[in-house]
Amino acid sequence: MEFYRDLLAVSGATAPAGAIPFGGAAAVTLPWGRLWLGGSLNPAASDRDRVVALALGPRDHDFGTVDAPTLRKWLHSGTELARLAAPFAAAAHDDAEFVLATDHSGLRHLYGVRGDGWAAVSTSAIELARLADAPLDRNAMGTFAVTGFHLGESTPFRGVRKIRPGTAWRLSNGELTDTPYGVDDHAEVPGGSRIEAMAGLLRGLVERCLDENPDTVFELSGGFDSRLLFAALPASRRAGVRTLTLSAPGRADAPIAGALAAQFRTDHQVIDLTGLAVLGPEAAHELVMSSARRHDILGNPVALGVLDWVESQVPPGVRITGQGGEMARGSYHMGQTQHPTATPELIDRLARWWFLTNDATDAACLQPDFAESARADATTAIRAAFAEYDTDWLTAIDEFFLRERVHRWVGINFTGACLSRTIVAPYLDPRFLAIARAVPPTERSGSGFAARVLERLDPWLANARLATGVRPKHLPRKYVPRALAEYSVLKYAKRGAEKAYQFARGQAATAAGTPVLAGLVVDHWRDRPELVEPALRFGLIREDWLAGLLSGAHGTDAATVGFLANLSAL
């Protein structure tokens, strides 16, 4: 089975010709339309099998390989696709139709557009926008500006949509149809103790991964989620296993993870994010702009640029990631308590304190009318998402986190990463999600349930301090709000003060490594202002604010630099 990074398929007699995509990929004419494939990692293969992988290492949830004939059958029949582990995407075609599918969580991003008598699908939203001459979607960009991620099916381009999770798209006769393929039958909740069930599932997943891929890299930070996955690996197998930690000033991850690596004699790689400074302004700018284009203007290219830089220093191999662990930990931010339903008042309060501050563009940068409409559009979109969850308030927060935050914010990262390595995400396994959902939110809140799972897997690791200063076995904390239960009293007070200040100033949160990279990009813009001035063309940015940034009168944060870079890339 061949693997391709880039794909564009167009059907319909009236479809526009458009520019040649992906820097010159040749088109293949087929009965249902035209197909472009670019970036093959297996160019010597002569038999396409009429099926191509769009993410590395298609496999089922138990690490069984899925061959081309089986995958082609599943794609055309629309059955069994939920058995494939996320992130995943593939395409197949015969004389009648072209079929494209993503994973059950929608983590591998794919895009489509419908025209007048024609339709197209692609791995690239930018190529579809170019083909359809799609204008900027002001509402979608506004929501992104104030939240830091896109919601639902939106993209920066009007009419270009992202494929829904657990969906296959069928392209034929100029029409594009959605075919949901359902939930994995294996995602039933086992009987007995939920703690035993989750511990057994994680241990089985981690051990099978290492059995099949001895060079697997475990992400190891000072946090809970990576700790739990590391604990799932029996102590007898930890010596020599590969572990990876990112180090940044002011963060305790490297010392905590280093102590664990020394304790269990792992092959530990530490990447110091201060090393970004050696790039220099021009190289940093190119890294960020390349990241913006490669991720289709769908994420913060500063944060994604940091990850791209990190990935360039990690040897090839399967990666176990702790993304999605909040489903088991019950991280209900800013003191959320249980309510029978998700009311507009609860939704708006959560949005103000979390989604509209954490990764938000500096409001002073935006045109006042755009800033006002952006917050209103984002609030409306968040309310609409919550309206789909007919459940209690805390469960609704879980569902929003999974269906929106993980789907789009984590997914754009996975979309890039799965093109260079196989990503294993145990916390997004349907069986893990089924067990987590079966535990009442009040039991998961404050990481109490997840802490019991950790104790079951490894009591020693449950007693070792996290970067927050807390020993997991003491969770949930009884004398601090559940929202910050994983923090020591001192760090809880500091975190609460930081959050209040951030909310009052309307400032974005800071991801590790992003301040260094953002500062270098701003330095380059000050030397070459013509590189960022195109961001003014859309009427979203205040010209006087940008002039102040370029003159050195004021600085800005990484989220704002990312938004400017995206507009410049457009």
Q: CB count, 10 Å around CB of 509?
A: 17
Asked if residue 472 and residue 542 are part of one domain, the reply reads no
19 domain-assigned: yes
Q: For residue 46, is pLDDT > 50?
A: no
Q: What span, in angstroms and rounded, lies between the C-alpha atoms of 314 and 300? A: 22
What's the full length of the chain, in residues?
Answer: 570
Which amino acid belongs to residue 184?
D
Q: Please tell me the total count of domains within the chain.
A: 3
- Find the mean pLDDT for residues 493-499: 42
Q: For residue 499, is pLDDT > 50?
A: no
Of the candidates 178, 135, 164, the one whose C-alpha atom is nearest the C-alpha of residue 407 is: 164
For the CA atoms of 383, 384, 385, 387, what is the dihedral angle to 10 degrees?
90
103 CB contacts (<8 Å, ≥6 apart)? 84, 85, 86, 87, 88, 89, 165, 166
Instruction: Look at 10 and 509; give whichever has higher pLDDT.
Output: 10
- Which helix (H) or strand (E) covers residue 452, if one does? helix 448-457
Q: For residue 47, is pLDDT > 70?
A: no
Instruction: Look at 13 and 240; give whichever has higher pLDDT.
Output: 240
Residue owning tokens 């990241």: 291
Percent of the chain with pLDDT over 90: 76
b vs e for 58-87, b when ≥16 Cβ sit within 10 Å of the residue's Cβ? bbbbebeebebeebbebbbebebbbbbbbb
Asked if residue 275 and residue 239 are part of one domain, the reply reads yes
In tens, the pLDDT along 273-311 reads 999 999 999 999 999 999 999 999 999 999 999 999 999
**Per-residue model confidence (pLDDT) at position 358:** 74
Percent of the chain with pLDDT over 70: 90
Are 545 and 555 contacting, i.e. CB atoms less than 8 angstroms apart?
A: no
Asked if residue 405 and residue 540 are part of one domain, the reply reads no
Q: For residue 492, is pLDDT > 50?
A: no
Cα angle 70-75-77, degrees, rounded to a multiple of 5: 95
Q: What span, in angstroms and rounded, lies between the C-alpha atoms of 340 and 124? A: 41
- Find the mean pLDDT for residues 181-185: 66
Asked if residue 167 and residue 239 are part of one domain, the reply reads no
**Per-residue model confidence (pLDDT) at position 40:** 65
Asked if residue 171 and residue 234 are part of one domain, the reply reads no
- Find the mean pLDDT for residues 236-265: 95
**Per-residue model confidence (pLDDT) at position 250:** 85
Q: For residue 42, is pLDDT > 60?
A: no
343 domain-assigned: no
Q: Which of 497, 528, 553 is the last residue of a domain?
A: 497
pTM of the prediction? 0.90
The SS3 call for residue 92 is: strand
213 domain-assigned: yes
The SS3 call for residue 179 is: strand
**Per-residue model confidence (pLDDT) at position 183:** 65
The SS3 call for residue 241 is: coil
Asked if residue 212 and residue 74 are part of one domain, the reply reads no
Which amino acid belongs to residue 41?
L
Helices (H) and strands (E) in the chain, counts: 21, 16
When mean pLDDT is compared across 39-53, 101-115, 181-195, the lowest value belongs to: 39-53
Q: For residue 479, is pLDDT > 50?
A: no
262 domain-assigned: yes
Q: CB count, 10 Å around CB of 26?
A: 10
The SS3 call for residue 172 is: strand
**Per-residue model confidence (pLDDT) at position 2:** 85
Domain span holding position 171:
2-110+163-180
Instruction: Look at 90 and 357; give whichever has higher pLDDT.
Output: 90
In tens, the pLDDT along 545-559 reads 999 999 999 999 999
Q: What span, in angstroms and rounded, lies between the C-alpha atoms of 129 and 298? A: 13
267 domain-assigned: yes
Asked if residue 207 and residue 169 are part of one domain, the reply reads no
Residue owning tokens 């004398």: 479
The gap between the terminal CA atoms of the chain, to the nearest Å, is: 34
Q: Looking at residue 274, which CATH number applies to its domain?
A: 3.40.50.620
Q: Is the dihedral of CA 472, 474, 478, 479 positive or negative?
A: negative
For the beta sheet containing 242-247, the strands, ordered from the edge strand earlier in sequence to the opposite edge, are: 267-272, 242-247, 217-219, 319-320, 423-424
Asked if residue 472 and residue 521 are part of one domain, the reply reads no
Q: For residue 501, is pLDDT > 80?
A: no
Asked if residue 538 and residue 412 are part of one domain, the reply reads no
- Find the mean pLDDT for residues 318-329: 93
Q: Which of 180, 207, 230 is the last residue of a domain?
A: 180
Asked if residue 469 and residue 426 are part of one domain, the reply reads yes
HSE, CB side, 13 Å, CA atoms: give it for residue 289.
18
Q: What span, in angstroms and rounded, lies between the C-alpha atoms of 75 and 405? A: 27
Of the candidates 29, 30, 35, 34, the one whose C-alpha atom is nearest the C-alpha of residue 4 is: 35
Average pLDDT, whole number, for the chain? 89
The SS3 call for residue 137 is: coil
- Find the mean pLDDT for residues 415-439: 93
34 domain-assigned: yes
373 domain-assigned: no
Asked if residue 430 and residue 307 are part of one domain, the reply reads yes
**Per-residue model confidence (pLDDT) at position 428:** 94
Q: For residue 48, is pLDDT > 80?
A: no
**Per-residue model confidence (pLDDT) at position 184:** 54
Asked if residue 480 and residue 524 are part of one domain, the reply reads no
Confidence of residue 125 (pLDDT cuts 50, 70, 90): very high
**Per-residue model confidence (pLDDT) at position 41:** 52
Q: For residue 493, is pLDDT > 50?
A: no
Are 507 and 362 contacting, i.e. CB atoms less than 8 angstroms apart?
A: yes
Q: What is the maximum span of the chain, computed from C-alpha positions, in angstroms?
A: 67
Instruction: Look at 505 and 125; give whichever has higher pLDDT.
Output: 125
Instruction: Look at 433 and 20; give whichever has higher pLDDT.
Output: 433
35 domain-assigned: yes
In tens, the pLDDT along 514-542 reads 999 999 999 999 999 999 999 999 999 99
Confidence of residue 478 (pLDDT cuts 50, 70, 90): low
Q: Which of 497, 528, 561 is the last residue of a domain?
A: 497
Q: For residue 485, is pLDDT > 70?
A: no
Q: For residue 502, is pLDDT > 70?
A: no
When mean pLDDT is compared across 17-31, 214-228, 234-248, 403-417, the lowest value belongs to: 17-31
